[in-house]
Structure 1
């Protein structure tokens, strides 16, 4: 489920600064990624509190995650094309400002309707920021250090999941769900100040017209591979979104234990995000993706049997690793298919991630509100992951490709 490598505009070919001068600027950009990573996942840990505060069901509250993810998934490619000729630093500052205001508005929203509107605005801010931060990091570091720079941006996202989500969850569990969103806004404000003060003026990257971006979807294998990402993300988020209800219902986990469980999930995600790159280089994209999907199916089903906190921790660790291990090998396959437009096909993979999250959160909410038990919800997620595995097997491997 990793949102790494979501660069939608090609990075500038201009070399980055000499020495380590680029590190400070890229670190600032990573703080923004930390905020985005926290915002993407923190609501899962505070849905019961949010539902009680807004006087709605947990399933209805879960649609706030749908609104954020659907906005990101649908708006991302269009925003990338519409803003391709705008200066990078002001664009990043605007994206962060919108993100901050949207999270403050989310925290203050008195009704679910207004909260959904605010989450849409936050999704637009995230869709503007994350890919452009990746492109800016690559431009700042230069070709020789591009991989390290992009890994720092990925690090911000994963650290947001590992540390930001548990902190936000703890705030929501012990103070208020609004406090969790204000925490995200505060981190975004730190990033905004850093961008304004530290980030240098950046060259505008070469524009890729919208028509050219969507032309790659005429390639059937591209659509199928993005479909694998969508189904995997749907399966993972369908269960993760309602983690509080699932772990509370099966293992009676809540409060601090829930925050720890989400921390463990995030740690697993770090191993999955970085380990999948190592495995892809050694096993190949096909085998790595197969292993990740199989592990996802097993762990989603295993949650139904995890009745102790120790069992929950083990399953959450492996589930986080599986969920975050899929994006890298999928990106590897896409860039091998369309090597001339790597940033464009990667952007569609990112859209597949967020559209899958939107479908998963929405479907999970409908099932829970319809009376589905949390165990059946986990098994439904596992069934969707099986569908992802079937599509992955059907896509196959083209001759001569790794």
Structure 2
């Protein structure tokens, strides 16, 4: 795989750590800022909402920039947002700084996928997208457990400084290795939403929204669902995510996205329902978390592949909409999961996450028939 793709993965590693680590810091954040656990969980929620809303707007405003310059601008904004988070003294100010960080993430991640798509031949596209998006899964295996441990020892603000350092490393990598790729991108805001008129795109986005809504209803409040050492559980989940993401890219190239989406959705839904069993003992939790992460992350490269196939002439916009749908799902998960936790405790969160997983699976089965996959040549093996 081209070395030019690794800085893109490093940028996503920083972004994933900065967003996902909040789930492991709910207790120290709530204690430091004098707020409830569910209120602390809304830091991820506001990040997700800002990302979803700002992604198409910022894409239109930055359409004239070269992709390399946009990647550098995005990481600079992300780093600045996390510096402000580390320094903010009150909950409202911390919330505001998460919007700044989300703006950087909203510019970087879709652009990184678009650049990876432009730099890669079609027969290796699934693996290239898996590598770049693998930064997010690696962040959950390495960055999030490390940040959670650091937050428990030195305070959650120390974790934010760790994220700042990771963002600077990503910036340096992009500056040194990523070429100045030119990708045709429309600057008209209305055209950012034009693919929504295509049913093939719309169903992919709804699957993405439901899938992330389900998974992150459980993940956002995972610290409240387990009595076991949280860094170890998060580490196992993230390690599984690395394996699943990389296997997902290869298996998508070989067997098409439909099979990977359905397998991943069905398996991750079952594992969310098994959270009470996983909480019985640490060895059980570690195996459970690894398998949940691995099977859940099978879906990510397949969803990107579906999007590229649906809008081959408009890939950057399509991938941007996919990211927005993902973060709308995260936003819904944060709100709904917080309500469920306050009203019904752990059971409410588990039932809600599992129910959303079932809804995602049923919706995808109804809207993604085998005939559609074959007609678009998505399921033809490429070896």
Shift of 1:283: 4.1
Confirm or deny: 8 A CA contact 2:138 2:241 kept in the other structure: no
Go from structure 1 to structure 2 and tell me whether the alpha carbon gap of 1:342 and 1:300 turns closer, same or farther (over 3 Å shift).
same
Confirm or deny: 8 A CA contact 1:48 1:245 kept in the other structure: no
Q: Distance in 2 between matches of 1:155 and 1:384?
A: 24
Shift of 1:282: 4.2
Go from structure 1 to structure 2 and tell me whether the alpha carbon gap of 1:293 and 1:129 turns closer, same or farther (over 3 Å shift).
same
> Is it true that 1:346 corresponds to 2:295 in the alignment?
no
Aligned pair partner of 2:308 in 326, 332, 335: 335
Aligned pair partner of 1:355 in 328, 339, 358: 328
Shift of 1:164: 0.9
Aligned pair partner of 2:258 in 251, 262, 286: 286
The residue that corresponds to 2:180 in the other structure is 202
> Is it true that 1:315 corresponds to 2:315 in the alignment?
no
The residue that corresponds to 2:138 in the other structure is 159
The residue that corresponds to 2:28 in the other structure is 49
The residue that corresponds to 2:162 in the other structure is 183
Aligned pair partner of 1:277 in 249, 257, 260: 249
SS of alignment partner, residue 59 of structure 2:
helix
Confirm or deny: 8 A CA contact 2:218 2:350 kept in the other structure: yes
Go from structure 1 to structure 2 and tell me whether the alpha carbon gap of 1:373 and 1:153 turns closer, same or farther (over 3 Å shift).
same
> Is it true that 1:378 corresponds to 2:350 in the alignment?
yes
- How many residues were matched structurally? 371
Shift of 1:178: 0.9
Aligned pair partner of 2:149 in 159, 170, 177: 170
Q: Distance in 1 between matches of 2:174 and 2:307?
A: 32
Q: Distance in 2 between matches of 1:150 and 1:278?
A: 10
Q: Distance in 2 between matches of 1:145 and 1:283?
A: 12
- Could you tell which deviates more after superposition, 361-370 or 58-67? 361-370
- Could you tell which deviates more after superposition, 93-102 or 339-348? 339-348
The residue that corresponds to 1:243 in the other structure is 222
Aligned pair partner of 2:233 in 261, 265, 281: 261
SS of alignment partner, residue 12 of structure 2:
helix
TM-score by length of 1: 0.85
SS of alignment partner, residue 274 of structure 2:
helix
Q: Distance in 2 between matches of 1:379 and 1:322?
A: 19
Go from structure 1 to structure 2 and tell me whether the alpha carbon gap of 1:339 and 1:189 turns closer, same or farther (over 3 Å shift).
closer
> Is it true that 1:220 corresponds to 2:180 in the alignment?
no
The unaligned stretches of length 5 or more in structure 1 are 1-19
Q: Distance in 2 between matches of 1:332 and 1:145?
A: 11
Confirm or deny: 8 A CA contact 1:84 1:204 kept in the other structure: no
Q: Distance in 2 between matches of 1:340 and 1:102?
A: 33
Confirm or deny: 8 A CA contact 1:285 1:329 kept in the other structure: yes
SS of alignment partner, residue 84 of structure 1:
coil
Go from structure 1 to structure 2 and tell me whether the alpha carbon gap of 1:95 and 1:283 turns closer, same or farther (over 3 Å shift).
closer
Q: Distance in 2 between matches of 1:319 and 1:53?
A: 31
Confirm or deny: 8 A CA contact 1:84 1:205 kept in the other structure: no
Listed as ranges, the matches of 1:47-86 within 5 Å are 47-86=26-65
- Could you tell which deviates more after superposition, 149-158 or 270-279? 149-158
SS of alignment partner, residue 373 of structure 1:
helix
TM-score by length of 2: 0.89
CA offsets 1:211-259 (integer angstroms, 9 cap, x no match): 3332211123422221111011001001101111111xxxx21xxx311
Go from structure 1 to structure 2 and tell me whether the alpha carbon gap of 1:155 and 1:331 turns closer, same or farther (over 3 Å shift).
closer
SS of alignment partner, residue 334 of structure 1:
helix
Go from structure 1 to structure 2 and tell me whether the alpha carbon gap of 1:143 and 1:330 turns closer, same or farther (over 3 Å shift).
closer
- Could you tell which deviates more after superposition, 116-125 or 78-87? 78-87
Confirm or deny: 8 A CA contact 2:130 2:248 kept in the other structure: no
Q: Distance in 1 between matches of 2:263 and 2:179?
A: 43
Confirm or deny: 8 A CA contact 1:136 1:202 kept in the other structure: no
Dislocated runs of 4+, deviation >6 Å: none
Cα RMSD after superposing both structures: 2.3
